[in-house]
Amino acid sequence: MLVMDIPDFVRLGKNGTAMRLRETLEWNGDWQIPSGKFEYYRDGGRWSVGYQVKTVKVFFFFKKKKIFSVLPSVPHCHNIELVETTKEDWKKDNGGYAPNI
């Protein structure tokens, strides 16, 4: 895991698009350097969503941490539960766009 308690590979919703966790880059003069911030990235399409961990009530007083997408500019991709998936599933879903990681 790149970030504690956050899965490396997720789907946007139960059967949605598969994405991988990656560190974002920022410009430092002429170079791009790691920013220390993370996002879920879709290689087959080259777009990403931020994420937010929320504690939600599951049943009466039982609570569970869940991860949700953050992309307010695209309402149909915003505030959707991110469901953990496997590396193999992510690779299959992204086809030839998936890098060798």
Nearest to 81 by CA among 62, 54, 60, 57: 54
pLDDT tens per residue, range 66-89? 999 999 999 999 999 999 999 999
Average pLDDT, stretch 17-29?
91
Contact by Cβ (8 Å): 23, 72: no
pLDDT value, residue 16: 94
Contact by Cβ (8 Å): 98, 44: yes
pLDDT value, residue 36: 87
Percent of the residues in the chain that have a pLDDT greater than 90, as a whole number: 56
Q: Which two tokens stand for residue 24?
A: 């974002």
Return phi, psi of residue 52, to 5°.
-140, 130
Pick the more confident residue, 57 or 82.
Answer: 82
The pTM score is 0.84
Mean pLDDT for all residues in the chain: 90
Q: Which two tokens stand for residue 98?
A: 């998936």
